[in-house]
Structure 1
Amino acid sequence: MTLLLPRRSGVCFLLVAGLMGLLTQIASAPAASAKPLPCIDENQQCRGQPLPATVEHLTGEAWKLDVKGKQTPLQEGMSIDEQEGVKTSPSAFVSLSLGDGSRVVLPSSSHITLHLNAKRPEGAEADEVQVMARQGVRIQKQGTLTSIDLLPAPRLLGQSGQTDNVPVWQLIMKPIEGATGYRAQVATDAAFLDIKQEQFSSTPEVKFSGLKAFFYHVRLSAYDAQGLEGEAGVYDIFYYPRTTHVQ
């Protein structure tokens, strides 16, 4: 699957990915304290050079791929340049900081390669479909593209927990008609750049284990029969696991 992500700088990234989760792109203004970056002269405007990208947050195990596909364990602060890639394990999350001030968050079980100034080959044709607000499109190898109404964001009804050596935190959502699965992410930041855990469930109940006491941001969503992820609802929750004390 090939995804073209337009940048505010007018430059595109070609992310050649085998995604099993959601790829989230979050744009933000460059930090004022950041060092001067190489610029792209486009229409007489000096724009920040998006690449190389920098690994800003890393949770779990992931790898950097060089142009020949050689894998190196990924670390925070590592640079990812053009034609290099990132591969994440089933329990990993990575956020990349780009030179133009934007961010890209990679989910678990992802594999992407960065390309600068990606253009559609001459003569290539592409199906077009109008996607309105609260709609989505499932991309398939064959067939007609059709827009589909997305499921609403799940409503959080309550939470519970289990006291043990490894505390368990359970979130309970209101069932959504037409949903075949649910997804919940827990992050320490409101932008969900530093995701700590992610869980999928066929029921509107998800469980997290091993989380420490913290003020977490929780993002909930549901999937329909087509596999499209619906709208997301975000909750801010202070989680304080009780521990067992033996005297």
Structure 2
Amino acid sequence: MRGGTGPAGRRAGALLAAAGVLAMTCFVPISAHAQSSRAPKQRAKAAPPAYVSYMTHEGDTLYDIASRYLSDTADWAVLSRLNRVPAPRRLPAGITLRLPANKLKQDRESARVIATSGPAEHAFGASPYVPLAVGEALAEGDRIRTGPNGFVTLELSDGSHVTMTQDGKLDIGKLRRTALTGAADRLLELHRGEVESQVTHATKKDDRFQIRSPSVVAGVRGTRFRVAYNGDEETTAVEVLDGAVGVDPALAGSSALGQVPGVPLQASAQLLAARFGSITRAGRAIGDAVELLAAPALRQPARVQDGKTVAFDLIPAQTAEAAQHAAAYRVQISRDADQLDLIRDLRVSEPHADFGNLADGTYFVRISAVDASGLEGLPQVYGFERRQFGLAASAAPRAGNRNYEFRWFVSQSAPSVETRFRFVMATTDDLRHPIVDRTDLTGGQFVVSDLPPGVYYWMIVAEQFENGRFYETSSAVRSFTLAR
């Protein structure tokens, strides 16, 4: 068959059209309901070959098409046999050709580091690990690992984000985009720890985003979800916060059919909807879907964190199920509301978390409940201000006339800010009816004289006004006894 616009060219176009190929950049339908086995030891059925269609332009040859869109220029011969075109000569415009999907050229992409904190390193291939830096570009073959309180977030070319938490190990297995269709193909291999992904919704039918652990493959087309692998127990937890995730066994030597480009997620062994999760042990069937626990609430969410340490008290979700199944809590601190720039991560058995000291600034805390199986529930995020403003106080008797001297001092990050104090003393511990109430004190001591015998309670309040905001901190209510 020769190229051209004469009768032979028209016959060629009619012949190819009769073959039933698809419109440009669409897959030929493969077996509609090919089965994906839930039994890990059963080999998945081989998927029928898939094709992408291409409509020729003026001056195209099979050689040019293979050079632009196939991984090997020599595959023009494959196009010739598949489309019954005998030679790589010029083709008339408007002819639809079939291209094998498994031979399409894929251009490699990179992922950019947009946040990192604590021990976070990467290595390429067998090279040694080196620290990660914001702005650095990573690609296929890069290996990432984090240590205690080590975090890193990657941004992909479509705006998707992948956050790796502490004590983790992750390899970038595939990061490519198909030249002809523009479809993205991304595979991350999780060996230890947890990754949370915010995946931009797929715009191409054959877009693919996968996270593979030793026990499952989790694939999405646009959602927010977590995947955590526990190497000691050889289990993988998948938790879906938004959208849906297809989960399949990580079968050796075969592909999870639900994760093949062009095959819908519904073909996966399990389709996890939002607010559900599952736990799967390596070599076993996919675990049952379990509804995630509701998020706890934060006690005193508007409180300024002004103490020596940053600490939070949680209020468990007010449901019988949550109260029964919440075995632990997870509390994370980040510099941003989307939790892309994580800096702290704690799991606690009680609804209280203490992170120790933290530099002054504005932060965000995310809290969630963990059930008895280890599945982490839905999160709740709060903003908070860290502004160290501590107050220490003491009292001691002073010689003569039943005098008592009170002293105090503040610890703060901005010592240049003016501080005023209030001294309150009463005969009851609620200080409701004070016998002394002095405001606008500027020094660090105060003396009370001529006190009759009895039990007394007192407290110091420190006040500051800075950048349009009022800050206040109080000492504990203390007491002393004045004998007769």
Does TM-score exceed 0.5, indicating one fold? Answer: yes
Alpha-carbon offset, residue 101 of structure 1: 2.3
Alpha-carbon offset, residue 50 of structure 1: 7.3
Q: Could you tell me how far apart the structure 2 residues matched to 1:193 and 1:50 are?
A: 24
Which of 340, 362, 372 is the equivalent residue of 1:193? 340
Which of 85, 88, 112 is the equivalent residue of 1:54? 112
Q: Could you tell me how far apart the structure 1 residues matched to 2:164 and 2:146 are?
A: 8
Aligned to 1:203: 350
Between the two proteins, the alignment pairs up a number of residues equal to 202
1:234 aligns with 2:395: no
CA pair 55-133 structure 1, distance change in 2 beyond 3 A = closer
Residue type at the aligned position of 1:218: V
Q: Secondary structure at the match of 1:90?
A: coil
Alpha-carbon offset, residue 158 of structure 1: 3.0
Which whole-Å deviations, capped at 9, do the CAs of 1:25-56 have from their partners, x for residues lacking one? xxxxxxxxxxxxxxx989xxxxxx77311211
Aligned to 1:9: none
CA pair 123-199 structure 1, distance change in 2 beyond 3 A = closer
Q: Could you tell me how far apart the structure 1 residues matched to 2:271 and 2:359 are?
A: 44
1:78 aligns with 2:122: no
Which of 260, 270, 275 is the equivalent residue of 1:129? 270
Alpha-carbon offset, residue 234 of structure 1: 0.9
Q: Could you tell me how far apart the structure 2 residues matched to 1:62 and 1:201 are?
A: 23
Which whole-Å deviations, capped at 9, do the CAs of 1:90-145 have from their partners, x for residues lacking one? 11111112222222111111111112245988744577123233111112114332
Which of 329, 336, 351 is the equivalent residue of 1:182? 329
Q: Could you tell me how far apart the structure 2 residues matched to 1:130 and 1:196 are?
A: 32
Residue type at the aligned position of 1:155: A
Which of 145, 150, 161 is the equivalent residue of 1:92? 150
Q: Secondary structure at the match of 1:57?
A: strand
Query: Is residue 328–residue 370 contact of structure 2 (8 Å, CA) maintained in 1?
Result: yes
Aligned to 1:168: 309
Q: Could you tell me how far apart the structure 1 residues matched to 2:152 and 2:123 are?
A: 14
1:213 aligns with 2:360: yes
Residue type at the aligned position of 2:281: Q
Residue type at the aligned position of 1:149: E
Aligned to 1:35: none
Scaled by the length of structure 1, what TM-score is found? 0.71
Q: Which has the higher helix share?
A: 2
Q: Could you tell me how far apart the structure 1 residues matched to 2:118 and 2:254 are?
A: 42
Aligned to 2:30: none
Which of 98, 101, 126 is the equivalent residue of 1:68? 126
* Structure 2 runs not aligned, ≥5 long: 1-67, 71-106, 175-184, 188-209, 211-250, 258-267, 317-321, 392-409, 412-443, 445-484
Query: Is residue 135–residue 149 contact of structure 1 (8 Å, CA) maintained in 2?
Result: yes
Query: Is residue 158–residue 173 contact of structure 1 (8 Å, CA) maintained in 2?
Result: no
Which whole-Å deviations, capped at 9, do the CAs of 1:51-102 have from their partners, x for residues lacking one? 3112111110111121115211222222211011110011111111222222
Scaled by the length of structure 2, what TM-score is found? 0.38
- The share of aligned pairs that are identical, in percent, is 26
Q: Secondary structure at the match of 1:211?
A: coil
CA pair 125-73 structure 1, distance change in 2 beyond 3 A = closer
Which of 103, 115, 120 is the equivalent residue of 2:173? 115
Aligned to 1:33: none
Aligned to 1:13: none
Which whole-Å deviations, capped at 9, do the CAs of 1:173-201 have from their partners, x for residues lacking one? 11342111111111111111111212110
